[in-house]
Structure 1
Amino acid sequence: MGKTATTVEQQIALLESRGMTFDCEIEKVKETLLDIGYYRLGFYWNPFEIDDKHNFAQGTKFSDVVKLYYLDVDLKNILNKALNRIEINLRTQIIYIVSNEYPDLPTWFANRKIMNSNFVNQFPKYYDDKFKDKNKPIKKHHINYPNDIYAPAWKTLEFLTFGSIYSIFHSIKEEGVKFKIAQHYGFKSLKTFRNFFQTIIFIRNICAHSGLLYDSNTPLEISTTPFFKFNNNNKHSLDSSIKVILYFLEKISKSRKDIIQDEIFSLFDSFEENEVIMKIIEEKIGYVKKI
């Protein structure tokens, strides 16, 4: 689409002129375009385009574009269940391990002896009146303890973003403390743990904000690890990110990991009869079915 708004009828005519086949009733096509949106759906017909004029490969069906869209939606829903579990667990372990390392310093996250100065300097920008008013347990804490600058870590960190939790981990001065956290998840390398942590955040943000998942590639290469092998040695693919997610989840609950893994594989395998979608799953996501 250009800079001029178009009607749904004009959108259908444009797609048809570019070679798309509408293999369902036009009223259903209109309903879909008005539900999902022409622009958003465009991310899912992109793999079917063959030139810079946005013409489609011969035989491109509207129904396959919609199937790809819902594959993406369903995969995000499955991964969200795993990512929520991982986020809560990582948050809990960081709070627990560091707080018990410094039991007499309940607000260790704002202590310059423990944390890098840059983080401590920036923290008041996040822990402002709006933050305290928005989060009831924090607000209640300051009513009960009006002289406290901050609530203890086990209260405060529950209301920070997942990205902020990573920043807290990264800003801890003592490498030994960070290594205790990494060891909890079976890591012998802090560098690999950080890399996996960042991968989790990257995929979590896509899923949480309804981003484009099937075609996502991590900006950072996922660290080589003895925990699993990369399909086609692709260390940026979504399949490799899924392996990272499943690794973390197994450290939390093996039964939950098995359930999520089965759901992912079942979703991919449900398209076995659709060569077009299966090719995208294999080439874009990087999935290789185990036989």
Structure 2
Amino acid sequence: MPRRKIPYTKRATTLDEQLEKLRRHGVIISDEPKAKEYLADIGYYRLGFYLFPFEQTYPHLDHRRQHMVNPGTRIEDVVALYYFDMDLRNILNKYLSRIEVAIRTTIIYELSNKYNSNPTWFVDPNVVSSDFIRKFPNEAYRSIKNKLPIQRHHAKYLGQYAPAWKTMEFMTFGNLEVLYDSLIWDRDKSLISSHFREFAIETFKSYLTAIREVRNACAHGNVVFGMTLSKGIRAGQACPSFSANEQQSFKGALRVVDYMLRQVSVNRANDMWNELWSATSRLYKKTPTIRTVIESQTGIIPQKNRCFLHLLRSLLKKIVKFARKKR
């Protein structure tokens, strides 16, 4: 039964009122001018997303939530988490772009060469679904045709669309995800997924969705470290198994990002982890109490511990393999 809605009665508050509200929730504010500077810069509402992990009732957002923070929580701790999340977005943006370019290039190369007699195979009903073709002019090409290279193409050549290698350079990652899903033939989808060593088509599709959602969160300044994906990631090469609640978590998505980046460049994947470890180290120096939450939400753990866990997983795999041979 739908929950009964009630009138919204809250009003805007001043910086002084916001500080008082934070104090009522148990937040320690020792430097009021600096605290007001934080609120004026970040905003009370946005900062509230980063206050949430410090609450005594975390992670509950339902009737169990009481807003009181753990004893000793300072406003500086909350701000440190905010800047950590900003670092996280900036780091991931750089490497997600590398993954996106690789996926885009693979689709263009593989399918343009397979259908080399049709440069606009992306609107061919023998290759992609009629629904994609019908929506493409308004949902994708309307903005693409305003790009200068595409304008130059149409000024010189006949045809409704520029060829795939021009058009798809300006398609959003969301457009690419829909295009992949709209390919009629599984063998065409496999051409793309197998390039990244994931041979299960639906699993690869779930990777694309996870990457798009993390990329969008990074691009639009949303909370990243505790984000929830709209759909679950399927078990596969990136994530052979999941712990509880990991399929739709940022932790699961980061495993996909790591896997896909390693198919592009192992060195770049190692660079990403070095930057992530540096960012978490800076956070823990400022607010060590948040460490357990960050590690559980992200899977970003100190390099030494990560190496130990990798060795432990490898050992367990060998034990399981040996046990199966003995049967």
Correspondence for 2:258? 246
Q: CA deviation at 1:118?
A: 0.5
Partner Cα separation in structure 1 for residue 231 and residue 142 of structure 2: 36
Write out aligned runs for 1:84-163 (5 A): 84-126=97-139, 131-133=144-146, 135-145=147-157, 147-163=158-174
Given residue 25 of structure 2, which amino acid in structure 1 is its aligned partner? R
Aligned length: 288
State the partner residue of 1:277.
290
Question: What is residue 193 of structure 2 aligned with on the other side?
Answer: 182
Shift in alpha-carbon separation, 1:204–1:58, aligned structure 2, 3 A: same
Uncovered stretches (5+) of structure 1, i.e. residues with no partner: none
**Residue 159 (structure 1) shift:** 1.1
Contact 1:132 / 1:139 at 8 angstroms: preserved in 2? yes
Deviation string, structure 1 residues 156-211 (Cα, Å, up to 9, x no partner): 11111110111111111121111011111011211211111111111111111111
The 2-side partners of 1:12 and 1:2 are apart by: 20
Q: 1:5 aligns with which of 6, 12, 21?
A: 12
The worse-fitting range, judged by mean Cα deviation, of 223-232 and 95-104 is: 223-232
Does residue 207 (structure 1) correspond to residue 218 (structure 2)? The answer is: yes
Q: Quick one: which amino acid aligns to residue 277 of structure 1?
A: I
Deviation per residue, 1:29-87 (Å, 9 max, x gap): 11111111111001000122336442222222101100111111101111111101111
Q: Which residue of 2 aligns with 1:32?
A: 38
Q: Give 2:176's match in structure 1, choosing from 157, 165, 179.
A: 165
In 2, the alpha carbon distance for the partners of 1:259 and 1:279 equals 24
Greater mean deviation of Cα atoms: 281-290 or 240-249: 281-290
Q: Which residue of structure 1 lines up, in the alignment, with residue 95 of structure 2?
A: 82
The match for 1:47 among 29, 43, 53 is: 53
Tell me if structure 2 keeps the 8 A contact 1:231–1:286: no
TM-score by length of 2: 0.82
Please report how far the alpha carbon of residue 107 of structure 1 lies from its aligned counterpart in structure 2 after TM superposition. Answer: 0.6
1:18 to 7, 25, 45: 25
* RMSD of aligned Cα (Å): 2.0
Structure 2 residue ranges without an equivalent (≥5): 1-7, 58-64, 309-327
Residue aligned with 1:28, SS: helix
